[in-house]
Structure 1
Amino acid sequence: MPSLQVAPAPARRRVRIGRVVAGLCLPLCLLVACARPGVDQLAPDPADRTAAPPAPATAAPPAALAARSTPLPDPSSAPAPSTVPTTPALAAEDVLAGLTRREVPPDGAGNLAVVPGSTPAPGPGPARTLSVAVEAGLPVDAEEFASFVMTTLNDPRGWGAGGALSFARTDGESAIHLVLATPGTTNRLCAPLDTAGEVSCRNQEMVVLNFRRWVEATPEYAGNPTGYRQYLVNHEVGHALGHAHETCPGPGLPAPVMQQQTLGLQGCTQNSWPHP
């Protein structure tokens, strides 16, 4: 029986197998090479146990930052505290008129705040309703100011002497609107009358008291600011009641309340009341 002989593989078949092996090796090598970190992706070698991991970043407490950035002053070299000027104490008559400071802002935004609440008329006779407003920003206790106004108007020496008339304050609709305003706002509310930032006025149903006059009064009333403020309320409300200006009746006589006493007494003496 003839023996079986295995013939050697042709050469070109060996070449083909070699190409297949080489084709499998190339993607594998590329895969290994791509897994290695590049220059901008450096990472610690896990086998290198001598490299310490970076310490986690912690935020310094604000107090520690302040201590490092600002050295603490040496108490022995600290300068003496400076003297801070204080606001002069108000006179009792200024507090009575509602002032909290004697500063006079030259102008304001014109925001008029009606003093809330009401005050009934004290007498049985006919009552005239009146609202009181203070321009926002004035150094004034509005309640105290309103109380001063109403006490003045309902004084027995006032327009309602003998029970002929009394005044009731309201924060709603009223016959007279009395306003305390800065000089600049007074100018605008009194127009077309020119108050020059110095005097007060009555314009229609509005009575406008100039805050400059409320604080400073006039030279002839310098020693009697309460008397001047009472005169100012009675004079301007007198216009709202229909009374016109009067003149000094003679040297040494009391000035009529409707005399323009703000512009000078003209030889008369001070008088704040319609029926002194």
Structure 2
Amino acid sequence: MSRARARRRRGSARLVLAGLASGAVLLAAGAAVAHWRHTRPPVTDDQAADVADALDAAGRTDAPDAPSGSPSGRTAGPSGSPSVKASPSPSPSTVAVPATGPGTFVTAEADGSTVGTGSRVRRYKVLVEEGIDIRPSAAAAEISDVLADRRGWTRDGINSFRLVSSGSYDFVVKIATPGTVDEICGAYGLLTRGEVNCAVGTDVVVNLKRWVLGSPQFDGPIGDYRALIINHEVGHRLGHGHETCPGPGLPAPAMMQQIKGLKGCVANAWPYDRDGNYLSGPSVP
């Protein structure tokens, strides 16, 4: 066999082997993508509707038509609505809202205490993005106050809540800069556009802009607005779906998408009233 012919055969063999190797890499990559799509936490249909609604209410006309996350850029009670305890977080005028942050978080420390007497203990974490002017301990204290309030979900006599800093948990509240919220939510195909919050899997991702400045549609105490964020999203994690206004002049359910309009109801941040009556409304399909 001539040397030229032998070189051609060796070259052809190398091309075949390279092609087989490339095919194996592509198959492995495809399998990895399929596994990620199968195992990532789901985004529900009501979450998909929520982000578009919140972006519209914020004056953004480029909201997505399909998957979004559950926003909490929601309305809260008017000046006559009951408020949570005075916020331990810094006042809005003293907190800067940077466009983005490092994407790393500090977990609030927990002392193991539980709020509520229900036998179903819901374990949760509070995380705050590094570099922002909110102490994790202050955010956790405010969220714990909301969950402990007699008008909150502990009033059902079933659920109680325990702040944890490690181990298993039922949900996580993350407070993050607008850019980081966009990155976290965008990994699930959600377009928050630096404006609203989202809920993906077990995570409630709270936009720092909304936590500090409230909703563009909200003119009441910031504590009520934050209470509505927590109560609405925790309600979803307890299995509650969306509800609508039960009648003119009545309190809007905490599970109502109040940012879409109150439909004659009075804005309200709490699932129960002070007498322990559940503030419900007709279910939304």
TM class by shorter chain equals 0.5 to 0.7
2:152 paired with 1:158: yes
Asked if the contact 2:106/2:136 (under 8 Å) is kept, the reply is: no
2:210 equivalent among 208, 213, 230:
213
Asked if the contact 2:85/2:145 (under 8 Å) is kept, the reply is: no
**Paired-residue identity, %:** 40
Name the residue aligned to 1:148.
142
2:230 paired with 1:228: no
Task: Name the SS for the 2:146 alignment partner.
Answer: helix
Name the residue aligned to 1:259.
256
State the shift of 1:136 in Å. 0.7
**CA, structure 1 residues 95+185, in 2 after alignment: closer, same or farther (shift >3 Å)?**
farther
Task: Name the SS for the 1:185 alignment partner.
Answer: helix
Name the residue aligned to 2:102.
109
Q: Name the CA distance, whole Å, in 1 between partners of 2:229 and 2:126.
A: 14
Asked if the contact 2:171/2:202 (under 8 Å) is kept, the reply is: yes
**CA, structure 1 residues 252+219, in 2 after alignment: closer, same or farther (shift >3 Å)?**
farther
2:178 paired with 1:187: no
2:87 equivalent among 93, 96, 99:
96
Q: Name the CA distance, whole Å, in 2 between partners of 1:135 and 1:266.
A: 36
Higher RCO (CA 8 Å, separation ≥ 6 residues): 2
Where does 1:1-276 land on structure 2 (aligned, <5 Å)? 96-99=87-90, 101-125=94-118, 126-173=120-167, 174-190=169-185, 191-276=188-273
**CA, structure 1 residues 119+247, in 2 after alignment: closer, same or farther (shift >3 Å)?**
same
State the shift of 1:146 in Å. 0.4
Q: Deviations over 1:19-72 (max 9, x none)?
A: xxxxxxxxxxxxxxxxxxxxxxxxxxxxxxxxxxxxxxxxxxxxxxxxxxxxxx
Asked if the contact 1:221/1:227 (under 8 Å) is kept, the reply is: no
Structure 1 runs, 4 residues or longer, greater than 4 Å off: none
Q: Deviations over 1:176-221 (max 9, x none)?
A: 1111111121122223232222222211111111111111112443
Structure 1 spans left out of the alignment, 5+ residues: 1-92
Number of equivalenced pairs = 184
State the shift of 1:227 in Å. 0.8
State the shift of 1:232 in Å. 0.8
Q: Name the CA distance, whole Å, in 2 between partners of 1:270 and 1:119.
A: 34
State the shift of 1:267 in Å. 3.5
Q: Name the CA distance, whole Å, in 2 between partners of 1:171 and 1:226.
A: 24
Q: Deviations over 1:118-161 (max 9, x none)?
A: 34113442211001100111111221110010110121211121
State the shift of 1:117 in Å. 2.5
State the shift of 1:262 in Å. 3.9
Structure 2 spans left out of the alignment, 5+ residues: 1-83, 274-285
Q: Which residue identity does 1:106 align to in structure 2?
A: A
**CA, structure 1 residues 136+263, in 2 after alignment: closer, same or farther (shift >3 Å)?**
farther
Q: Deviations over 1:211-256 (max 9, x none)?
A: 1111111244323211111111111222222222223334332111
Asked if the contact 2:117/2:154 (under 8 Å) is kept, the reply is: no
Q: Name the CA distance, whole Å, in 1 between partners of 2:263 and 2:214.
A: 17
**CA, structure 1 residues 155+133, in 2 after alignment: closer, same or farther (shift >3 Å)?**
same
Asked if the contact 1:201/1:236 (under 8 Å) is kept, the reply is: no
Please report the TM-score for the alignment, with normalisation by the length of structure 1: 0.61
**CA, structure 1 residues 133+183, in 2 after alignment: closer, same or farther (shift >3 Å)?**
same
Please report the TM-score for the alignment, with normalisation by the length of structure 2: 0.59
Q: Name the CA distance, whole Å, in 1 between partners of 2:218 and 2:199.
A: 21
Asked if the contact 2:117/2:158 (under 8 Å) is kept, the reply is: no
